[in-house]
């Protein structure tokens, strides 16, 4: 039994006439009859009762007709799916992202991607940047939204987002009433800091902000996630320096103020393996870069 025999059989079943079925298949009647005979020999049962005036399905033929329709539909779908996959219009892509990216960046991007690339299944995995880079190297992720950290893996990067860093304060804090907060205002202030292990990028950025200034805050806690830091700010435990996207957490009684330096920004990069064979990953990656890409070109490891 092969697919061509099944197509011939289905045509005869639907036309109940060998001549009409042959015309439909763009062949002559004798070869069509031969294909039906071969199919019956393969099945080991009579499938069609033929007379000079009529063609009718046997019980075995009726059962095979229904199954043949399913098989041919599946075969046609397999061809379509293979073509879509080869073009990158279908497939599965696992995307890593940080918790901060999940506030606004990921929801908006996911909505646009689902509309533009409906055949691609996007699987989301929340991880800190260092875990994402390891997951990329281990092929557990296809794409990753990360902070600029060093990695031994052969990866490519493209900056897709730059956002300012801001000061988060309890609404009742004396500094919340100031129009402009200066560096000197933070001397000795209780500062809730990112941990070096889970929040290395922000930890190092904030440390360097105070380096060699002669002004130092008082670090009271070290946390891994932005939402946990802002929760402590809300409780009045201290102040914090966080990316501006933390505003979207909508913690009550927390105010956000610009820093004394406007050039302190948090960058988010899209990262992927240089050697990649998943067409869906390439298609989704190109869509992301077209939708979000900044002016910088894709390249090797970004400067941290």
**pLDDT tops 60 at residue 304:** no
Q: What is the CATH number of domain 164-262?
A: 3.40.190.10
Q: Is pTM, for the whole model, over 0.75?
A: no
CA dihedral 142, 266, 165, 100 (to 10 degrees): 0
pLDDT given for residue 82 in this prediction: 80
**Residue 2, burial from CB neighbour count under 10 angstroms (0-12, 13-18, 19+):** exposed
**pLDDT tops 90 at residue 51:** no
Domains 3-87 and 164-262 share a fold: no
Quick one: tokens of 94?
């696992």
d(CA 49, CA 66) in angstroms, rounded, equals 17
Residue where the block lists tokens 């059962």? 63
Q: What is the mean pLDDT of residues 263-276?
A: 92
Q: What is the mean pLDDT of residues 206-226?
A: 91
pLDDT given for residue 300 in this prediction: 55
DSSP H helices, the chain, are: 3-15, 18-24, 29-43, 59-87, 105-116, 129-137, 200-210, 226-234, 279-292
- Which residue did the predictor score with more confidence, 95 or 149? 95
- Which residue did the predictor score with more confidence, 269 or 301? 269
Contact 99, 126 (CB under 8 A): yes
Question: What are 57's strand-pairing partners?
Answer: 48
Share of the chain above pLDDT 90, in %: 71
Q: What is the CATH number of domain 3-87?
A: 1.10.10.10
Class of domain 91-160+266-292: alpha beta
**pLDDT tops 70 at residue 294:** no
Other CB atoms within 10 Å distance of the CB of residue 253: 14
Of the pLDDT bands very low, low, confident and very high (cuts 50, 70, 90), residue 262 is confident
**Residue 300, burial from CB neighbour count under 10 angstroms (0-12, 13-18, 19+):** exposed
Quick one: tokens of 267?
């960058």
Domain-wise residue ranges, the chain: 3-87, 91-160+266-292, 164-262
Q: Which of 249, 103, 250, 233 is nearest to 168 (CA)?
A: 233
Quick one: tokens of 278?
């998943």
**Residue 115, burial from CB neighbour count under 10 angstroms (0-12, 13-18, 19+):** exposed
Q: Which of 190, 185, 98 is nearest to 148 (CA)?
A: 98
**pLDDT tops 80 at residue 85:** no
pLDDT given for residue 298 in this prediction: 56
**pLDDT tops 70 at residue 93:** yes
User: What Cα–Cα distance (Å) separates residue 89 from each residue in 76, 100, 179, 244, 282?
Assistant: 17, 29, 51, 35, 10
Q: What is the pLDDT of residues 141-185, one digit of tens each?
A: 999 999 988 888 899 999 999 999 999 999 999 999 888 899 999
Contact 92, 117 (CB under 8 A): no
Question: How far apart are the two ends of the chain, measured CA to CA in Å?
Answer: 62
- Which residue did the predictor score with more confidence, 295 or 170? 170
Contact 10, 72 (CB under 8 A): yes
Pairing of strands 155-170, 265-273: antiparallel
Taking all residues of the chain, what is their mean pLDDT, rounded to a whole number? 90
């Amino acid at each position: 039994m092969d697919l061509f025999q099944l197509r011939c059989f289905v045509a005869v079943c639907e036309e109940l006439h060998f001549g009409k079925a042959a015309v439909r298949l763009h062949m002559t009647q004798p070869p069509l009859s031969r294909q039906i005979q071969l199919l019956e020999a393969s099945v080991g049962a009579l499938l069609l009762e033929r007379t000079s005036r009529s063609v009718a399905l046997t019980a075995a033929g009726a059962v095979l007709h229904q199954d043949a329709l399913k098989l041919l539909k599946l075969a046609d779908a397999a061809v379509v799916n293979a073509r879509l996959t080869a073009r990158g219009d279908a497939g599965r892509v696992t995307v890593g992202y940080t918790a901060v990216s999940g506030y606004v960046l990921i929801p908006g991007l996911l909505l646009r991607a689902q509309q533009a690339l409906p055949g691609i299944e996007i699987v989301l995995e929340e991880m800190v940047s260092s875990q994402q880079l390891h997951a990329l190297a281990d092929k557990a992720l296809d794409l990753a939204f990360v902070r600029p950290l060093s990695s031994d893996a052969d990866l490519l990067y493209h900056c897709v987002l730059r956002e300012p860093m801001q000061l988060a304060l309890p609404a009742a804090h004396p500094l919340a009433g100031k129009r402009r907060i200066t560096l000197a205002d933070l001397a000795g202030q209780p500062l809730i800091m990112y941990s070096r292990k889970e929040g290395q990028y922000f930890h190092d950025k904030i440390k360097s902000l105070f380096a060699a200034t002669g002004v130092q805050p008082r670090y009271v806690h070290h946390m891994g996630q932005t939402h946990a830091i802002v929760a402590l700010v809300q409780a009045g435990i201290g102040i914090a320096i966080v990316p501006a996207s933390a505003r979207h957490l909508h913690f009550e009684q927390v105010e956000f103020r610009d820093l004394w330096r406007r050039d302190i920004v948090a960058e988010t990069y899209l990262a992927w393996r240089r050697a990649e064979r998943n067409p869906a990953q390439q298609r989704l990656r190109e869509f992301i870069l077209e939708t979000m890409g900044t002016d910088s070109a894709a390249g090797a490891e970004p400067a941290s």
